[in-house]
Structure 1
Amino acid sequence: MAALRVEILWLILFKAWIAAANTEEWKTATATYTKETDGSIINEGACGYGDLQRITYGKYSAGLSSILFNRGSTCGACYELRCVDHILWCLQGSPSIVLTAADFCPPNFGLSADYGGWCNFPKEHFEMSEAAFAEIAERKADIVPVQYRRVKCARRGGVRFTVSGSSHFYQVLITNVGLDGEVVAVKVKGSKTGWIPMARNWGQNWQSNLNLKRQPLSFEVTSSGGRTLTSYNVAPVDWQFGQTFEGKQF
């Protein structure tokens, strides 16, 4: 019971914080859903997050159409959505949910943008999990009109760094980013190096052609809002590929 009360309190505070932090106007778009047995939208996707349940985005994640996805630069950003202007499909009161951009919804130019080609450029569209969709609209709907706006991301714990690669290729996947959610620049520092800029490989995977083994690692992460967060010695000297480490939070 104590754990449940903490969970409820956290959700209340989260919604209050979102409302206070939001400054953007509502914009119009459309939304559909994809069926997944585990409740999440994807297990792999264009942002590189992998198992969304494991990294906590879960069912509250979305695939974005080309114009919103912006070649992966918006991976990790948070959007508040509500179903509007459809008396048959929208739930009463137009409840809203907050989703994390976690995948790309590809265009289908063989179909009309009004029937099947929901993600054709320049349509603004969100592909959601069925569970999240059901919180704002009736499951029977194929597609619903929505309003959306960017909001700040509230995350539990620190920014997470998952390392992968080989002896001369180093890559880090960055997840659980608060505030803006988007990462626009990353630097890494070993105990034997200075700060080294990393390049975006794809989604939120950042790379550098280095051998950083046997060095504790520090990271400098810059968000789309221009704030920089530095986490020193996040990974210990004996870190291994495949491990995830937690740093500070925005």
Structure 2
Amino acid sequence: MGALQSTLLYWILLHSCKIAASNVEEWRSATATYSKQTEGSLLTEGACGYGDLHRANYGRHSAGVSSMLFNKGSICGACYEIRCVDHILWCLLGSPSIVVTVTDFCPPNYGLSVDYGGWCNFPREHFEMSEAAFAQIAKSKADIVPVQYRRVKCQRSGGLKFTMSGSSHFYQVLIGNVGLDGEVVAVKVKGSRTGWIPMARNWGQNWHCNANLQGQPVSFEVTISGGKTLTSYNVAPANWQFGQTFEGKQF
């Protein structure tokens, strides 16, 4: 191989390494506690609106986050890898990590110090995990532990889940089981007798619009934080009912 070819190959490999490195987020510092709930999950009616976390396929790998991370609900559905660090007494040997999904909001308590009890006070970055998830990175005797976290891609089984609610003049859909970024930033809906209608975030990952879509097959266009858009046509048949859940494509 000539000198020119060797140099060219070197720069190609170097560029490839830089691209690969840029796709991996750096570890950031935060703290974590856990919430004692039945069956290892957090509260079933969290601030993201997913309902029963086991039925929503999140279960014990769920976490509430402080307002610094929650960002008014836009982060719902995102996945983070978390590991306990810098505490020889409470961190498990080897600092194993676990991936959790954001399903709830950890509210601030400004009546308590940020050093004791006010762990979710702004601007702290904090995770409130299920007891079962916390036990995979730290000893459950700990009240609070220092952790490192980084954003990772969500690995999901099956397609996006669309749960219908509303009335004849107000349509709302809860979007769950979102892969890749996990974080939905824009939604459009379309009936067989309408064009594409932009939806607004109501709360968490509940999206709404003022439209009557009853009696029409319903399609969705979902955009995630990384910019990718996925269209699922005729997700729900014309005879769909409020309260039903339907499955679309997956990122």
What is the TM-score of this pair, normalised by structure 1? Answer: 0.91
| Residue number in structure 2 paired with 1:163 | 164
Gaps of 5+ in 1: 1-18
Q: 1:41 Cα shift?
A: 1.1
| Residue number in structure 1 paired with 2:213 | 212
Q: For residues 82 and 43 of structure 2, what CA distance do their matches in structure 1 show?
A: 19
Q: 1:22 Cα shift?
A: 5.7
| Residue number in structure 2 paired with 1:221 | 222
Q: What SS is found at the alignment partner of 1:70? A: helix
Q: For residues 144 and 41 of structure 1, what CA distance do their matches in structure 2 show?
A: 18
Q: For residues 234 and 197 of structure 1, what CA distance do their matches in structure 2 show?
A: 17
Percent identity of paired positions between Structure 1 and Structure 2? 80
Q: For residues 205 and 234 of structure 1, what CA distance do their matches in structure 2 show?
A: 17
Q: For residues 88 and 191 of structure 1, what CA distance do their matches in structure 2 show?
A: 60
Q: For residues 132 and 93 of structure 2, what CA distance do their matches in structure 1 show?
A: 17
| Residue deviations 1:91-134 (CA, integer Å, cap 9, x gap) | 00111000001100000000000000000000000000000000
Structure-to-structure mapping, 1:132-171, within 5 angstroms: 132-171=133-172
Label 1:123 to 1:31 Cα distance change in 2 as closer, same or farther (>3 A): same
Q: For residues 39 and 202 of structure 2, what CA distance do their matches in structure 1 show?
A: 28
In the alignment, residue 63 of structure 1 is paired with which amino acid? G
Q: For residues 181 and 21 of structure 1, what CA distance do their matches in structure 2 show?
A: 19
Instruction: Please say which structure displays the higher CA radius of gyration.
Output: 2
Gaps of 5+ in 2: 1-19
In the alignment, residue 106 of structure 1 is paired with which amino acid? P
Q: What SS is found at the alignment partner of 1:51? A: coil
Q: 1:20 Cα shift?
A: 9.9
In the alignment, residue 77 of structure 1 is paired with which amino acid? A
The alignment of Structure 1 onto Structure 2 pairs a total of residues equal to 232
Q: For residues 36 and 103 of structure 1, what CA distance do their matches in structure 2 show?
A: 14
In the alignment, residue 204 of structure 1 is paired with which amino acid? Q
| Residue number in structure 2 paired with 1:73 | 74
| Residue deviations 1:25-68 (CA, integer Å, cap 9, x gap) | 00000000000112111200111111101011001010000000
| Residue number in structure 2 paired with 1:235 | 236
Q: For residues 86 and 44 of structure 2, what CA distance do their matches in structure 1 show?
A: 32
| Residue number in structure 2 paired with 1:100 | 101
Matched, 1:51 2:49: no
| Residue number in structure 2 paired with 1:179 | 180
In the alignment, residue 138 of structure 1 is paired with which amino acid? K
| Residue deviations 1:162-188 (CA, integer Å, cap 9, x gap) | 000111110000000000000000000
Q: For residues 22 and 244 of structure 1, what CA distance do their matches in structure 2 show?
A: 33
Q: What SS is found at the alignment partner of 2:133? A: helix
What is the TM-score of this pair, normalised by structure 2? Answer: 0.91
| Residue number in structure 2 paired with 1:121 | 122
| Residue number in structure 2 paired with 1:36 | 37
Q: What SS is found at the alignment partner of 1:38? A: helix
Structure-to-structure mapping, 1:78-93, within 5 angstroms: 78-93=79-94
Q: Which runs of 4+ in 1 moved over 3 A?
A: 19-22
Q: 1:75 Cα shift?
A: 0.4
Q: For residues 237 and 22 of structure 2, what CA distance do their matches in structure 1 show?
A: 35
Q: For residues 36 and 155 of structure 2, what CA distance do their matches in structure 1 show?
A: 26
Q: For residues 22 and 137 of structure 1, what CA distance do their matches in structure 2 show?
A: 28
Q: For residues 203 and 87 of structure 1, what CA distance do their matches in structure 2 show?
A: 37
Q: For residues 22 and 65 of structure 1, what CA distance do their matches in structure 2 show?
A: 25
Q: RMSD between aligned alpha carbons?
A: 1.3
